[in-house]
Amino acid sequence: SRSSNSNGSVPSLEVAIVGGGIIGVMTALGLHRRGIKAVIYERAPTWHEVSAGFAFTGAGRECMQQLHPGIVEVLGRISQKTDASTSNTYWDAYHPRNRQDAEDESKALLFKTPNNKLDYWGCVRSQLLLGMAALLPDGAFKFGKQLLSYDDDEKTSKVILRFEDGTTAEADVLLGCDGIHSTTRRIMLGNDHPASRAGYTHIVAYRTMVPIDVGIAALGEKVAKTGCMHCGPNACLMSYPVMNGTLLNVAIFAHDPSEFPEPDKMTAPAERGEIERLFKGWSPHLANIAKLYPENLVKWGLFDMDENPPPTYASGRACIVGDAAHASTPFLGVGACTGVEDALVLCTILESARQKTSNSNVQGESLTQALQTYSQARLDRGRWVHHNSRQVGQMYQWRYGPTGRDTERIKQKLERDCHTIVDYDVMAPLVA
Ligand code: FAD
């Protein structure tokens, strides 16, 4: 609901969001719901997301609900919801020598964790983006707008955005939701700052989605119908059903000691033979998994902010949100959920900055302060996520020193991390 100041007018606040990915769109929806005008500037010619699967925790959905209830409605329509009675399972994918042993819980199952804690809903990314974009008001997004630079203009108290097509735009605040290779972050911190670029984690991902019956034939019924992690030396495989259980989302993660060939693109051409070589000598499910992939495919390089985390998420009238701030490996499965938390905190702070103002324009200083409050509220959480996600990735690949191949230690670390993800009070830093 719109609030008015002592003059009876609603203080104006115009927000520019750079990047129309999942987090840019959610942030825009959260702002519009609070009566704050926000325009998304997206470099692509239209909404674009890959048709890969990803999932949101129950805690993430609570944030969405507060941000804009329409987001949870869209997600609910297109999701595969985990059943509280089922579990995520973790399997030894290396030692079993035949298919029977590989599917025998007493021989190959490392441990289970109950689903009700994380309570994931899995969906297809492109469907979520389109569903949410349909909730945006007219004029709330502009395509073909690649941010090149911005000026935080002291005199006018405005941020001026400059785009590749030669045009400019003006706003009171700039929110950089421009992902892992964020231009906003580079400009904010300076080209030479180590955090201006994401670091290669030396892990590549091979992703595919197959019809559920193909998944069942490959991995067995027990495995294909729930969320699973297959662990082994220097690689692991994650699978879970999406699209109301009709598709199986599969991702292989492999340690890559060399440098990624295309550091700015995140993907590189690959061949099925790479996967065959990777799982040579593993148990039968994994040794045959390459058959689910086409002959020619792409592999994704996993980059994150863990080696050089940004010292701040805000400077002047600009801030970074979502992956632009704390891009993480996917092993905790909460990269986007962490961006949803950012969006909620930011929308709450901007709404309150506007309500507190006594002028018709929200003053630059109070906005700068508001963005600093956002940064302070989110820095530790963002860093915790990419740091622990890296550790968990290494753990699944039996490369993490403190857990090694020790099943009990692996389970304990996961439980601790899961607890930190779910029981975190997103709004607490604002109250303190
Ligand atoms: P992005 O999705 O990267 O969007 C950035 C947008 O900005 C893009 O549209 C881009 O075109 C635009 N842009 C970039 N530069 C400019 C510019 N200069 N000017 C204008 N526009 C620009 N998270 C979960 O919570 N659950 C999961 O299950 C999960 N699984 C994952 C699996 C994998 C394999 C990976 C790699 C990640 C996973 N994540 C998951 C993390 C999640 O995908 C990201 O956290 C999320 O997509 C980040 O969204 P974003 O909007 O911040 O960035």
Ligand 1 atom 38, closest CA: 330
Contact between residue 332 and residue 338 where contact means Cβ atoms under 8 Å apart: no
In the chain, count H helices and then E strands.
16, 20
Percent of the chain with pLDDT over 90: 77
Contact between residue 53 and residue 212 where contact means Cβ atoms under 8 Å apart: no
ipTM comes to: 0.97
Give φ, ψ of 37 to 5 degrees: -75, 125
Kindly write down the DSSP assignment for every residue of 104-160, as one continuous string.
-HHHHEEEEEETTTT--EEEEHHHHHHHHHTTSPTTSEESS--EEEEEEETTTTEEE
Q: So what's the pLDDT on residue 224?
A: 82
How do residues 65-114 score in pLDDT, each as one tens digit? 999 999 999 999 988 777 666 778 999 999 999 999 998 999 999 998 87
Distance 267 CA to ligand 1 centre (A): 14
Distance 85 CA to ligand 1 centre (A): 31
How do residues 287-315 score in pLDDT, each as one tens digit? 999 999 999 999 999 999 999 999 999 99
Q: Is 232 in the pocket of ligand 1 (CB under 6 A)?
A: no
Q: So what's the pLDDT on residue 337?
A: 97
Ligand 1 atom 3, closest CA: 179
Is 378 noted as a catalytic residue in this protein? no
Q: Which residues of 260-278 are buried (b: 16+ CB within 10 A; e: fewer)?
A: beeeeebbeebebebbeeb
How do residues 183-215 score in pLDDT, each as one tens digit? 999 999 999 999 999 999 999 999 999 999 999
Q: Is 395 in the pocket of ligand 1 (CB under 6 A)?
A: no
Residue 261, Cα to own-chain centre: how many angstroms?
A: 23
Q: Is 227 in the pocket of ligand 1 (CB under 6 A)?
A: no
**Residue that the structure tokens 């073909």 belong to:** 144
Which CATH class name applies to 83-117+199-304?
alpha beta
How do residues 313-344 score in pLDDT, each as one tens digit? 999 999 999 999 999 999 998 999 999 999 99
Q: Is 421 in the pocket of ligand 1 (CB under 6 A)?
A: no
**Mean confidence (pLDDT) of the chain:** 91
* 1, pLDDT greater than 50: no
Report in angstroms the alpha-carbon separations of 26 from 21, 66, 345, 391: 9, 11, 12, 28
Distance 323 CA to ligand 1 centre (A): 6
Distance 340 CA to ligand 1 centre (A): 12
Ligand 1 atom 44, closest CA: 336
Give the tokens for residue 432: 């303190």
11-15, 84-88, 170-174: least confidently modelled range: 84-88
Catalytic-labelled residue, pool 207, 317, 381, 390: 207
Q: Is 152 in the pocket of ligand 1 (CB under 6 A)?
A: no
Residue 300 and residue 307: Cα distance in Å, rounded? 19
Q: So what's the pLDDT on residue 265?
A: 81
**Mean pLDDT along residues 143-170:** 94
Assigned superfamily of 14-79+122-197+307-431: FAD/NAD(P)-binding domain (3.50.50.60)
Residue of 46, 54, 260 best suited for mutating to test ligand 1, as the one with most atoms within 8 Å of CB: 54
**Which residues of the chain form CATH 3.50.50.60?**
14-79+122-197+307-431
* 375, pLDDT greater than 70: yes
Which one has a higher pLDDT value, 223 or 27? Answer: 27
Which one has a higher pLDDT value, 358 or 268? Answer: 268
Closest atom, ligand 1, to C-alpha of 184: 18
Contact between residue 204 and residue 266 where contact means Cβ atoms under 8 Å apart: no
Contact between residue 10 and residue 4 where contact means Cβ atoms under 8 Å apart: yes
**Mean pLDDT along residues 237-250:** 86
Q: Is 325 in the pocket of ligand 1 (CB under 6 A)?
A: no
Ligand 1 atom 35, closest CA: 330
Distance 18 CA to ligand 1 centre (A): 12
How do residues 101-137 score in pLDDT, each as one tens digit? 998 999 999 998 876 677 888 888 999 999 999 999 9
Residue of 17, 23, 82, 346 best suited for mutating to test ligand 1, as the one with most atoms within 8 Å of CB: 23
Amino acid identity of residue 278, one-letter, is L
Pairing relation of β-strands 314-315 and 168-171? Answer: unpaired
DSSP bridge partners of 239: 228, 250
Q: So what's the pLDDT on residue 362?
A: 60
Cβ neighbours of residue 100 under 8 Å, at least 6 residues apart?
none
* 422, pLDDT greater than 50: yes
Give the tokens for residue 78: 């297109």
**Which residues of the chain form CATH 3.30.9.30?**
83-117+199-304
* 3, pLDDT greater than 50: no
Report in angstroms the alpha-carbon separations of 77 from 158, 161, 337: 40, 36, 18
The DSSP call for residue 257 is: -
